[in-house]
Structure 1
Amino acid sequence: MSRLAGKNTVVSLIFNQDVNIDKSGDLTITVLSPIENGVRHVTDFLVSTQVCEKSPYLKPIIAMAEDPTEICLGEELKREGANKFGEKEGEDTEGVLVWLAHLHELTEEHMALLGLHEISITGIWHAIHMWNVFEHKKDMKALQPWFNKWCATNLVGKVLDLDTARLLALPCQIFDHAVGFATITRYLAYNHTGHIKACQQPKGCNANLTRLAPNDFLGPTNHARGGLKTALTKSLWKKAGDVLRFKQSKCNCWDATVGQYLGALVQLDAFPIEDVITHSSIREILERLKKFKYDWQPKCDICAGIDWLYVIKKTIVDTERYFDGLCLDCMDRSKPKGNCLDDKYWKANASGTGGRWDHRCRIKHNQPTWYVSWLGRDDTRQKLLKGASGGYRPMKDE
């Protein structure tokens, strides 16, 4: 079915299957989606008038409706002349589904039957926006069990991509999903090429909902990527540097030994890291290193005894273990809550039992993760890093 929408614009209407939020409902809400590629979806939701009248957004719409058993969402004209021809804005159908399901306080089983755990990430953003705006900033915790289930369905054991990771970072942050946030930020640090930037929000969404400012997320994630680059550089260079510093006077093949090693890395486009990192992600570099081969046969026993293949394998393992993803608990504890850093703040961030870096955290992590997750003053971080003895504590938990 088609109809005109605006000046000389033909829109095809696609009628989706009706959604029964309340099988004994007495109100039908018709939702018109935004127009995409000349297509608009129409979905009818069967709901309870009594429940919907508790919504500050729906109550006046129901009161002004000509027919109190039918209302329509998505017909509002765009404001401030954004559309000269009066094209309708539309509402995201998946976002409306989540919003209405939570208004009616549906059970997890009912939500699963309606497909709430399989909606798109864009739908998640719209659900957050609608709950925040339409319900006058009701507590987001009401949506948290649903989001936790969505993550369990769509994140565990699934392969991520960069667009998905960027879009999921904010919802994980809003819903305080520690495992999801760590998974997402770890993926970005290892798989993003170049400086990590904020994603473009889905149209019609307002992201002014975060507990942490955007820089508090992007800065630490980019910091982690920088740490990975430094760790990778040191691991690849350490053995070669030792040969150059200490072996030159002991043999005549040290230069060829090191040269062949570095040459093999360059051939893989895995060295020097400062050059390679401009067009490669950490993950891509690690994958190239797995193809490393060293065919040179040194003339002396000292150089022949260097296991370059082991050096590369250890570099890969150490780099893989370096960063566990940002820790929401460390970020929250370390961010100053007042005008000064008092004893209470210090105690909240002091090391825990056994000096673990992940004490009182919901994810297991090491020192680099704690370090980049820190949002407080650097002098306090350095004091904690050195510990009571004044010396730097081990990087890894044993």
Structure 2
Amino acid sequence: MASLENHDPISITSPSDLKIVIIEKLPKSEGNEPQAPKSKTMAVNRATLIKGCQYFQNMLACHRWTESDSNTITLQDDHIVAMEILLRKLHASLGAMSVQEVSVADVWHLVLACDKYGLSPKEFRGWFASWAKHAATQIDTLYGRDERIYYRQTLSETHITERNPTKVDQMHLPPRILQQMNAVRGRLRNIAHKGLFDRIARILQVSSAPCCERTVFEFFCELQRISVWPFEDCMRHCSIDDLVFRMKQFDATKMRGYTDPETKKPVACFFCEHDWKAVVAGAAKRVEAYFDGLCLDCMDLTKNLHKGGDRDRDYWAYMLPRDRYDENCRIKHGEPTWYFSFMGRREKKGLIADV
């Protein structure tokens, strides 16, 4: 199928002595029909490409490729916008391209292009920071204009999954990261459950007094009013952040007290007179304080542990108790973040649990 050539080249740098034709393969249409690829020509400098990228050095300087002596080269199955960003980075002309023209999907394709052409995505940090300031509207649109889905889906009831804005299957996080985030979600829910219901469980274990029956009933009624009970049902479509917000709306004054039917006076009871607002607020505080998010520095450190060392010894050394769990990290965090950010994995058959 013939490509749809755009004959207006993009000037990456001036003067230029080489043209690169980018051929972008488009995904199938909604009717599963193949679409014609589109293309774009970009004017670049040969010497700059050779100096800045090993891939282009091999292509243009070794004289073993057909492209070495050509004034025009064609790159198949690349993404036009991502390649423009990459080429402008090599030519120090990124400032000439508006970040508002770049979509979320384009950034994903940029990561893929960096992998293909041997560049580090970290080299684009400055540009990415500038792009991110203008990306809020795009993110709202991509995630249904619900910021909670984007920023807090990791704390939702359903299993955490990625949302890939591209059609490239190989673009995804290492499975280990999603496993850890799902584990965090489960742990936070357990902390919330324990904080909310431990004292109620104690009452049920030691007392069957009418006043305690009323207190337990009223406690659950108030939780139901703020959509925290039934606990599992309320968690089905809300995040941990939503749960904490609702818990903070707990109003103990709405809990009716028990009056003795004979004396017509309130009954003084050690269990019933507890500060129930403090119980719920304390549970919310423990949930909020437990986890600071995954730490990229801890994740990066533990991907390979100490290169060239003994992986088994490195594993046990990493697990030793320490005074600080955020040493040399760019964010402050506690032990839970350090623990869940561990990315080490087996690369050989072990002695335990592998039979």
So what's the TM-score if we normalise by structure 2?
A: 0.70
Matched, 1:341 2:312: yes
Q: Indicate the SS of the match to 2:160.
A: coil
Per-residue CA shift, 1:238-283, capped at 9, x if unaligned?
332343345x37x631111111111232344423433443443323
Equivalence for 1:26? 17
1:146 counterpart (124, 129, 132): 124
Q: How far 1:51 sits from its partner (Å)?
A: 2.8
Matched, 1:45 2:42: yes
Matched, 1:96 2:83: yes
Name the CA distance, whole Å, in 1 between partners of 2:237 and 2:111: 35
Matched, 1:226 2:213: no
Counterparts of residues 123-138 of structure 1 (less than 5 Å): 123-133=106-116, 135=117, 138=118
Conservation of the 8 A alpha-carbon contact between 2:295 and 2:331: yes
Counterparts of residues 183-202 of structure 1 (less than 5 Å): 187-190=152-155, 192-200=156-164, 202=166
Identity %: 25
Conservation of the 8 A alpha-carbon contact between 1:351 and 1:359: no
1:325 counterpart (288, 293, 302): 293
Q: How far 1:227 sits from its partner (Å)?
A: 0.8
Counterparts of residues 1-398 of structure 1 (less than 5 Å): 19-35=10-26, 43-52=40-49, 55=56, 59=60, 60=65, 62-63=67-68, 65=70, 68=71, 70-74=72-76, 91-104=78-91, 106=92, 110-115=93-98, 119-133=102-116, 135=117, 138=118, 140=120, 143-151=121-129, 153-154=131-132, 187-190=152-155, 192-200=156-164, 202-204=166-168, 206-207=170-171, 214-245=174-205, 248=207, 252-294=210-252, 295-299=254-258, 300-302=267-269, 305-334=273-302, 340-342=311-313, 346-352=316-322, 355-375=323-343
Q: Indicate the SS of the match to 2:210.
A: coil
Name the CA distance, whole Å, in 2 between partners of 1:318 and 1:17: 59
Structure 1 residues 27 and 116, CA gap change in structure 2 (3 angstroms):
farther
Structure 1 residues 97 and 193, CA gap change in structure 2 (3 angstroms):
farther
Name the CA distance, whole Å, in 2 between partners of 1:318 and 1:157: 33
Q: Indicate the SS of the match to 1:341.
A: helix
Q: Indicate the SS of the match to 1:23.
A: coil
Q: Indicate the SS of the match to 1:197.
A: coil
Over the residues paired in the alignment, what is the CA RMSD in angstroms? 4.0
Equivalent pairs, count: 312
Name the CA distance, whole Å, in 2 between partners of 1:162 and 1:361: 33
Unaligned runs of 5+ in 2: 30-34, 144-148, 259-266, 346-355
Conservation of the 8 A alpha-carbon contact between 1:117 and 1:150: no
Per-residue CA shift, 1:179-236, capped at 9, x if unaligned?
xxxxx9984432x34111344473347449x7xxx23211111110111110111121
Q: Indicate the SS of the match to 1:100.
A: helix
Name the CA distance, whole Å, in 2 between partners of 1:226 and 1:98: 40
Structure 1 residues 118 and 150, CA gap change in structure 2 (3 angstroms):
farther
Name the CA distance, whole Å, in 2 between partners of 1:240 and 1:17: 72
Q: How far 1:157 sits from its partner (Å)?
A: 11
Of the two, which has the highest radius of gyration?
2
Conservation of the 8 A alpha-carbon contact between 1:297 and 1:304: no
Conservation of the 8 A alpha-carbon contact between 2:325 and 2:338: yes
Worse-matched range after superposition: 150-159 or 253-262: 150-159
Q: Indicate the SS of the match to 2:312.
A: coil
Structure 1 residues 345 and 281, CA gap change in structure 2 (3 angstroms):
closer
Q: Partner amino acid for 2:242?
A: E
So what's the TM-score if we normalise by structure 1?
A: 0.63
Q: Partner amino acid for 1:49?
A: R
Per-residue CA shift, 1:307-356, capped at 9, x if unaligned?
333333333333223211112333344555566532x554455444xx22
Structure 1 residues 61 and 244, CA gap change in structure 2 (3 angstroms):
farther
Structure 1 residues 366 and 316, CA gap change in structure 2 (3 angstroms):
same
Conservation of the 8 A alpha-carbon contact between 2:9 and 2:42: yes
Structure 1 residues 150 and 53, CA gap change in structure 2 (3 angstroms):
closer
Unaligned runs of 5+ in 1: 75-89, 165-183, 378-398
Name the CA distance, whole Å, in 1 between partners of 2:282 and 2:66: 64
Name the CA distance, whole Å, in 2 between partners of 1:376 and 1:366: 19
Name the CA distance, whole Å, in 1 between partners of 2:251 and 2:312: 53
